[in-house]
Structure 1
Amino acid sequence: MSFKHKILALIPLSVKKNAIFNRLVKYYEVFKYRKILKESPKHYESVIREFKSKNSKIRFGVYIAYDSMFGGKKLCEIIKNDDAFEYVKFVIVPNTMRNKEQMIATYNATKDFFIKHYGNESVIDGYDEKSGEFLDRSSLFDAVYIASPYELDKHKFHSLSYLSKQNLLPFYLQYAFSHFKYGDHVIAAVPGVSFLWRVFLNNKFEYDGFKKFSLSSGKNAKISGYAKMDDFANSQIKNRDKKRIIIAPHHSVKSQQLKIANFLYYYDLILRLPKIFPNVEFIFRPHPHLFINLENYGFWDKEKIQNYQNEIKSCMEYSVGGDYLEIFANADGIIHDCGSFISEWLFSGKKGCFVSFDGAVFNQLSKFGKEALKFYDIAKNQNDIIEYVKNVENEKFTNLNLQDVGKNITINYPNASKFIVDEIKKTLKSE
């Protein structure tokens, strides 16, 4: 942890949320990074000129630590079939904030996912497990999609700040909708995000947040729509006899910056639901960090976690990692407290249930988050969850008005990925 983050950790959360405090922090950061903020646009102009002088195809890379954060399935599909690009390669990035055992386990799971879906020749190691060496792969690419905006969980070679200085065009597209003030106060304010060639945002709410909180004042940002959901339009709907409901608890059991997890309030109910509703199929899909955080923060030990996971697997489907759009398409409802799923589920046109037993979420919502949750039932206790399942089972809900949803959520759907690819080509291949 850097000295700056150690100091920030000592400051009360109430102070961090203060608008004046945030402006002062931004002014300080802009002054601190004024040189690189000034030089970044010139650097990218130089990168573009040099690339055009070679008259070559675009070598495209994805830097990814978790398959669940991957928002570029359609993006990579378009690039793979476009003659302007030489290849698409996936650099697997270790999360250095985890202990070594967890880091390697996650690294290998992510690597296996991309090998399975894109082939061994398309996957590149960002880490050598035998030597413990972190690998710089930046020279292999002309344009790079960075799936995570955070800096502290990466080795230098895989960070936004480092890639922004290399001979390539790095960009970030949102791995989730920004439903919380956290998205503005934390993600937009990450210095490295402002050093990137582009930041592709989902809607005007997010763009306004980037203008206000990013060090670049949003000068490198564009509204593209939410590329991650483009492939949802191609989902295969399967015939089924029973209603299916996803249960997706968030990981933030200890977080002070984003306090939305309710798992410890209703983990016992999750196990009872299949008995209460034998004619409903449940799919348990926890956030990848949930059980890691339960152990790391001392809530549950490994034995309790293993026992709970075994019980879950004995009574319902357990879904971990990977592409979940097919699961969404083939479900009739969802019970969750995950920020990213709030708007993603709305693409289905079905009513969802958002869990907030202590009501903490409502103090953290952005303006956009408040708009998105209007389309949900809110569960304030276990009985509310049971009532929601009853309503799904008995088909009491009507489909959502996607025209209303589309004003802020389904922008450019299902062509947000094409918008981004066109932006890359327009920059690197135009005369």
Structure 2
Amino acid sequence: MGKIRTFVGKTIPTPLKNILKEWYWRNKVHYIKLPYEKKAICALKGKKKIRVVFLALYKSVWKYDSLYQLMKADERFDPIVLVCPIVNYGVKHMLEQMEISFKHYKSLGYNVISSYNKDSDTYIDLEKDLQPDILFYTNPYKGLIDNRYYIDRFPHILTCYVPYGFNPVKFEWTYNLNFHNLLWRFFCETQITKEMIDKGSFTHGINCVVVGYPLYEKFCKESIKNFGLWKEQEQKKKKIIWAPHHSLEDCGGLQLSTFLSYYKFFFELAQKYFNDIQIVFKPHPLLKEKLYQHPDWGKEKTDTYYKEWDSHPNTQLFEDDYIDLFKTSDAIIHDCGSFTTEYLYTQKPCMYLTNGHNLEQYNELGKQAFNCYYHGNNASDIISFIEKVVIKGEDTQIDARKDFFIRNLLPPNGLTAAENIINEIKKQIQ
């Protein structure tokens, strides 16, 4: 069967494959997906409590706190966080991340359950043990979460998803995987994003609803909870975040990372401007694993490098939730995807480190966000940004950032994203 699928995949022209896929999804939606959803909705209309299970993976990409809190306060909902196995980097990594995530969600006061029992080597049966009415996924990729919890196992349960990052790229794997088309509700960030999904997905965005981005309320509605994230300095210094992406090599067309070009340089910057700046190293959660596997790095070199960031007075490593880190910073330098848009919530100075083909990868929203940034093509550009913009305050891009915020980052309906999501769910099940 696998050989036949490979042969067909290689011999059928791409335009014809796309036509066949659209035909497949049109029939799947009409004859299977919508009838299942209609039946599930009918079952919920008379139900007093709607059980919502959030399938959590890495704590660093959790975007549902405001939604969870609203549901917890609403008598109609019974929210549960289920910490699920991350299986693509081996058992050791899986157990480490599940423990980290479980402790984190427990500390937030969530009703949290671990899906895996290490002592008995058993997994929770999601459907039988928890009996969910609605599932919220935190990541769309098959092969990352354990298959027993993947969306294709639950066609008769209402499934939802808010992107784990504010998507600036145009690749179909951000909106047109089987996962995205199987969703009951695909909650997207902006009208520009929805237009891309409507045009490019096989189901033409039939399940897509614009609600805004849940981190809006974290950035703009909540006060800073932790001011003590940065190392204390003997004198006031500008706080700069360096956030390198994990895509050292091509990742499904995505190749943003400039880490290998600058990993030594940022230590040099911290030393050169010791009296003026302090730098936080905020790596993408997957960067460490990628470096472990890199032929020129490996585990020992990677661990040593990470530890070194905590060994200097004005540098530090930061791998936790980044909202308050962003809000207490003075600037960011990065090459990440979602941070391109997310940092613009702060409206503070920002530099994007380019690698020669970033614009080829951006969608329309990503291009608009990118144009609000200072662009770092080399070390001289980074030095200029630090000296002129960060230290001296000669910020010529401030108006562009403010304009982008007003046009693209304010959620619709005068509500928060979480409020829009809850309203959409209630509208459908009433």
Alpha-carbon deviations, 1:154-179, whole Å to 9, x = none? 2232112223x14x321011111221
Q: What does residue 199 of structure 1 align with?
A: 186
Question: Is residue 317 of structure 2 the alignment partner of residue 325 of structure 1?
Answer: no
Alignment of 1:252-263 (within 5 A): 252-256=247-251, 257-263=253-259
Q: 1:187 aligns with which of 156, 174, 178?
A: 174
Q: 1:345 aligns with which of 343, 360, 368?
A: 343
Question: Is residue 34 of structure 2 the alignment partner of residue 49 of structure 1?
Answer: no
Q: Take 2:332 and 2:55, find their aligned partners in 1: how far apart are those partners?
A: 30
The residue identity in structure 2 corresponding to 1:159 is Y
Question: Is residue 238 of structure 2 the alignment partner of residue 246 of structure 1?
Answer: no
Question: Is residue 141 of structure 2 the alignment partner of residue 150 of structure 1?
Answer: yes
Q: Structure 1: give runs of 5+ residues left out of the alignment.
A: 12-19
- Aligned-pair RMSD on alpha carbons? 2.5
Q: Secondary structure at the match of 2:153?
A: helix
Q: Secondary structure at the match of 1:292?
A: helix
1:297 positional shift: 3.6
1:41 positional shift: 1.4
Assess if the C-alpha contact under 8 Å between 1:91 and 1:125 holds in 2. yes
Q: Secondary structure at the match of 1:272?
A: helix
Q: Secondary structure at the match of 1:270?
A: helix
Change (3 A) 1:7 1:135: farther
Q: Secondary structure at the match of 1:313?
A: coil
Question: Is residue 341 of structure 2 the alignment partner of residue 361 of structure 1?
Answer: no
Q: Take 1:294 and 1:118, find their aligned partners in 2: how far apart are those partners?
A: 34
Assess if the C-alpha contact under 8 Å between 2:245 and 2:258 holds in 1. yes
Alpha-carbon deviations, 1:284-308, whole Å to 9, x = none? 1100000101122433111111111
Alpha-carbon deviations, 1:122-141, whole Å to 9, x = none? 11122232344333323432
Alignment of 1:68-83 (within 5 A): 68-83=60-75
Q: Take 1:299 and 1:205, find their aligned partners in 2: how far apart are those partners?
A: 40
The residue identity in structure 1 corresponding to 2:270 is P
1:425 positional shift: 1.7
Q: Take 2:196 and 2:141, find their aligned partners in 1: how far apart are those partners?
A: 17
Q: What does residue 136 of structure 1 align with?
A: 125
Q: Secondary structure at the match of 2:160?
A: strand
Q: What does residue 269 of structure 1 align with?
A: 265
The residue identity in structure 1 corresponding to 2:411 is I
Assess if the C-alpha contact under 8 Å between 1:94 and 1:127 holds in 2. yes
Bigger CA drift: 153-162 or 197-206? Answer: 153-162
Q: Secondary structure at the match of 2:186?
A: strand
Q: Secondary structure at the match of 1:261?
A: coil
Assess if the C-alpha contact under 8 Å between 1:211 and 1:217 holds in 2. yes
Q: Take 2:340 and 2:2, find their aligned partners in 1: how far apart are those partners?
A: 35
Aligned identity (percent) is 25
Q: Structure 2: give runs of 5+ residues left out of the alignment.
A: none
Q: What does residue 15 of structure 1 align with?
A: none
Q: What does residue 408 of structure 1 align with?
A: 408
Alignment of 1:26-425 (within 5 A): 26-33=18-25, 35-38=27-30, 39-53=32-46, 55-85=47-77, 87-119=78-110, 122-138=111-127, 139-163=130-154, 165-166=155-156, 168-182=157-171, 185-233=172-220, 234-236=222-224, 238=227, 241-256=236-251, 257-278=253-274, 279-315=276-312, 316-321=315-320, 323-356=321-354, 358-390=355-387, 391-397=389-395, 399-400=398-399, 401-412=401-412, 415-425=416-426
The residue identity in structure 2 corresponding to 1:216 is T
Q: Secondary structure at the match of 2:306?
A: helix
Q: Take 1:349 and 1:382, find their aligned partners in 2: how far apart are those partners?
A: 24
Q: Take 1:65 and 1:3, find their aligned partners in 2: how far apart are those partners?
A: 30
Q: Secondary structure at the match of 1:360?
A: coil
1:25 positional shift: 3.9
Report how many residues are paired: 409
Alpha-carbon deviations, 1:15-38, whole Å to 9, x = none? xxxxx83x5443333344555322
Change (3 A) 1:207 1:292: same
